[in-house]
A = this chain, B = another copy of it.
Amino acid sequence: MSESPQNEPNVVSTIADKICSKLQNAIVEGIIPAGSKISEPALASEYGISRGPLREALSRLEACNLIERKPNVGARVVTLTREHLVEIYLIRESLEGLAARLAAENMSDKDVNELDALLEKHKHQIIQDQSYYQKEGDMDFHFRIVKGSNNSYLIDMFSNDLYHLIRLYRYQFGMVSKRVPRAFVEHEQIVDAIRQHDGELAQFLMSRHISNSRKNVEKMLDEHLAITD
């Protein structure tokens, strides 16, 4: 049910919580279009709730950079730009590089084995359904390593802010790349480095992995824009 990366059953009790999750998905999937204005009365009646919990949800959406709010004016869904996407990738290079280093230093053998099992699962999924791996599978891998860092702020940033932004751009720019086999090999290299507790190497490989991914995306965007124009 829940699209959020945390494993816990996620018993979202309050209305604000539920509506926040729904809105996150609605924005990611473009049901509420990028750049569009958000009307509080309209949304409230649409979801059958009052404006109180809705505004609480909007606060959180603002915090995770999915909407922008101006006092006394209202909220808009963010507009997607190539520049912002690059900005996000640069931050991921830096932050997930750190995460990989810490994961290499901290993860137990048991954790590493589970990570390996995940890769094994992905190997089969790639054959039968590349698109799944490209979306959720890749996300699972990266989030697993962030969790392995054991740094609460890192985990927090990833699961609250970055996670939704990454999904948003994946969904709406909807790019399917030829990089899947290459990316999978890079994942294997990263896990190897983590298993050997080689933090420096894990950091280097993770940064480069995301950097490669960024360059690939930039190239695709350029080509796509060239066609569109």
Contacts and interface: CB of A to CB of B under 8 A. Distances in A.
Chain A contact residues (Cβ within 8 angstroms of B): what range? 20 to 34
A72 B16 CA distance: 12
Contact of A157 (B59, B90, B157): B157
A29 interface: no
A160 B153 CA distance: 14
A152 B87 contact: yes
A132 to B, nearest CB: 28
Interface in A77-101: 84, 87-88, 90-91, 93-95, 97-98
A218 B6 CA distance: 31
Contacts of A102: 90
| A interface, over-half SS | helix
Contacts of A56: 55-56, 59
A13 interface: yes
Contacts of A93: 98
A154 interface: yes
20 contacts: A13-B71, A13-B72, A14-B72, A52-B52, A55-B56, A59-B59, A59-B63, A60-B63, A63-B160, A65-B153, A87-B151, A90-B102, A91-B95, A91-B98, A91-B151, A91-B157, A93-B98, A94-B95, A94-B97, A95-B95
Interface of A: 13-14, 17, 52, 55-56, 59-60, 63, 65, 71-72, 84, 87-88, 90-91, 93-95, 97-98, 102, 151-154, 156-157, 160
